Structure 1
Amino acid sequence: MSNFLVSSFSLSSAPRSAVFRIQDELRNAQKEVTTGRFADVGLTLGSRTNQTVSLRVERESAIRIQEANTLIGQRFDTMQTALESIAKTGENLLASLISNGPADAGISASVQQAKAGLQQFMGAINAASGSRFLFSGAATDQPALAFTKVGGGVASSYEDNSTAKKAVNDALTAAAPASAADLEAFLDGAFNDLFKVPEPSDGTGWDMWSKADPSPVVNRISDSETLDVSYPASDEAFRNIVKAYVMISDLGAKTMDEEQRQLLTSRAVETLSLGLSQLTEIRAEIGGKQSRLEITNETLGTRKNVLTMSISSFEDVDAYEASTRVTTLTNLLEASYALTARISRLSIMNYL
């Protein structure tokens, strides 16, 4: 016959151990009710954990690309707003040039309108999204248009004693067109050269207006797609619009004879019309990219949802079962507390 020694300590310790175990299980069950996921996914799934890790990595990639695409979409929206304002201002001047003609009163009004249009253009083309300038090409840290003062330093605008304005004045003085034929030769030659992009860059021509980098700025919008989001100020559309403004505002239209004014007005209308047409092409191209971006984001959203469902099929718990388990464990814990309290009051001394 075997003898078993039973002490008050062993009797009271056993329920306490059970309480600790139940408390641990209850914490896990409550966590599952709150999160909807297994308390310890790795422990529950075992070797299948790698599958959920891969699914989560793929979903995070889709989310990051979607967030980046949202920023690209905002960039395009701001660009479209700026381009729309440039187009409206240009169209207004074009209408005025056609309706006013080369008469004294008409040309005076056109000169003032061209000066204002040039100022508006410079403000719009220097549009930024956050700290990044939108029309500077790859050089997003600097304005699309920026001027240097004659003698050095930064000019606040074209009119602020800039090297660009001086170059126009110097070219006009050197040509001194005395007739319509002379003016036409000047417009096709020295004046036109002022709006060309020098290759390589040498500080002449359009370099006096802009330091925009024409290199493509390519963003990945999905695992297999990329998008060039760059439209630098060196684009021909912008240069033609500026050229038309300067043609009217800075070539002394008020002092020209009627034949020269007629030629100047005609060439300004031609140049501005071309620039606005090219601008429309840019806006349409950006619109196409906006549509493409929207479709890609919808696809990414669908993919993200599918991945989320796949992850849930592995990691999610049955809400009803988890809730029932919490209730059961809570009742069991309360019973354990009561039993522990009763046992703690027992003493062998009571039976001696």
Structure 2
Amino acid sequence: MKTSFVSNLAMQNAMRLTIGRGQNEIQKLNTEVVTGRYADIGLALGAKASNSVTLNSDVSRLKGILDSNALVTQRLSAAQASMDVMSDAAQQMLEAFISVNGSDDANRLLIAQRDVETALDAFTTAANTSSNGEYLFAGINTNTQPLEDFLAPGSPPKVAFDATFLGHFGFTQDDPAAANITVAQMNNFITTVLEPAFTGAAWTTDWSSASDTNVSSRILKNEIVDSSTNANVEGMRNFALAAVMGVELINSPISAEVRASLNKTAIEYAGAAVTGIDNERSMLGVSENRITKANTALESQIRILTLHLGDVEGVDPYEASTRMNSLLAQVEASYTLTARIQQMSLMNYL
């Protein structure tokens, strides 16, 4: 009879390989227990792994739109806050004109003029509001301050108004000769010279650097909304026009009759400014509501896709945990057996 032998070194190496494979499998099972999905999707699903890739891509895309919508919502909220200030300023200006309607009292006129200046300053500051480094009312020209400050020394709109008045009447608005202006002449100046400077091309030359094109944002795969307005809208032009009349003309040395007619026209422009600004606020509110509904739809889609992903990639955590515990027991036994093998030596038998 022939006797063969196996060295304890060979046995140790075999046990070491067994332990290594067991540890790798335990690590994989631990990942599956923690995540609830296969540790190696490609190995587990084979050709069906493409379904997992597609579903994960769709979920990532939808989450990206949700994140984008959060930024759009922040932008709209900031715009609404600024337009609240503009609306209040327009209302303050309107009340200032109403307070001196039919009055020629110097003190009241001075107070009204200062109130209009305060309203214009607040309006300009709000119109030049920025969020995350982008101007909210510049349209797509988000890196450009949209509105000039009329009250700033040497500002383009102030210079343009002074030149326009002087060119039309032959003297400045503060000249005592302004007392000789008739109602017809003032109305003609306002309707044929001053108003076109705010409704025509001169507006973008002297006052505004904003684009007429608003920033738009995709809130769903097939839905896009305007996420801003711009300083060129009618309500803001009417505000500037009424404000200039209040700052430059309401307290000028014109006759009481001309002042009454001028103030009546200013009230109309200020009222149009209030209405126009509030209309823009309503339009932004519609966009906010559409985003809220879009987010609800996106969250529902993500939940459905996530459930489907669970069916495709999911593992039974109880089964994975049981297998892991079994492997842990086997590895522990292998450690014990390896330790005993290492203690085997011929010296123990000599």
Q: TM-score, normalised by structure 2?
A: 0.91
Q: Work out whether residues 37 and 314 of structure 2, in 8 Å CA contact, stay in contact via their aligned partners in 1.
A: yes
Of the candidates 219, 226, 229, which is equivalent to residue 231 of structure 1?
229
Relative distance call for 1:125 and 1:16 in structure 2 (3 A) is same
Percent identity over paired residues: 30
- In the alignment, which residue of structure 2 is the partner of 1:261? 259
Counterparts in 2 of 1:49-128, with a 5 A limit? 49-101=49-101, 102-104=103-105, 105-128=107-130
* Aligned equivalents of 2:252, 2:99: Cα separation in 1: 17
Of the candidates 132, 144, 147, which is equivalent to residue 145 of structure 1?
147
Say yes or no: does 1:171 pair with 2:127: no
- In the alignment, which residue of structure 2 is the partner of 1:150? none
Of the candidates 291, 311, 314, which is equivalent to residue 312 of structure 2?
314
Of the candidates 194, 198, 221, which is equivalent to residue 197 of structure 2?
194
* Aligned equivalents of 1:344, 1:205: Cα separation in 2: 93
- In the alignment, which residue of structure 2 is the partner of 1:201? none
* Aligned equivalents of 1:2, 1:52: Cα separation in 2: 58
Q: Work out whether residues 156 and 206 of structure 2, in 8 Å CA contact, stay in contact via their aligned partners in 1.
A: yes
Specify the code of the residue in structure 2 equivalent to 1:123. T
* Aligned equivalents of 1:345, 1:205: Cα separation in 2: 96
* Aligned equivalents of 2:21, 2:238: Cα separation in 1: 80
- The alpha carbon displacement at 1:170 in A equals 1.9
- The alpha carbon displacement at 1:309 in A equals 1.5
* Aligned equivalents of 2:17, 2:132: Cα separation in 1: 60
What SS does the aligned partner of 2:220 have? coil
Once superposed, what is the RMSD of the aligned Cα atoms?
A: 1.9
Q: Which runs of 5+ in 2 are unaligned?
A: 170-177
- The alpha carbon displacement at 1:313 in A equals 1.8
- In the alignment, which residue of structure 2 is the partner of 1:161? 154
Relative distance call for 1:83 and 1:216 in structure 2 (3 A) is closer
* Aligned equivalents of 1:7, 1:94: Cα separation in 2: 103
* Aligned equivalents of 2:222, 2:64: Cα separation in 1: 15
* Aligned equivalents of 2:240, 2:32: Cα separation in 1: 65
- In the alignment, which residue of structure 2 is the partner of 1:131? 133
- The count of corresponding residues between Structure 1 and Structure 2 is 338
- The alpha carbon displacement at 1:320 in A equals 2.0
Say yes or no: does 1:301 pair with 2:304: no
Deviations 1:286-313 (A, max 9, x none): 1111101110011001111111121122
Q: Work out whether residues 96 and 116 of structure 2, in 8 Å CA contact, stay in contact via their aligned partners in 1.
A: no
- The alpha carbon displacement at 1:266 in A equals 0.3
Specify the code of the residue in structure 2 equivalent to 1:137. G
* Aligned equivalents of 2:3, 2:92: Cα separation in 1: 111
Counterparts in 2 of 1:188-227, with a 5 A limit? 188-198=191-201, 204-227=202-225
- In the alignment, which residue of structure 2 is the partner of 1:180? 183
Specify the code of the residue in structure 2 equivalent to 1:196. T
Say yes or no: does 1:249 pair with 2:242: no
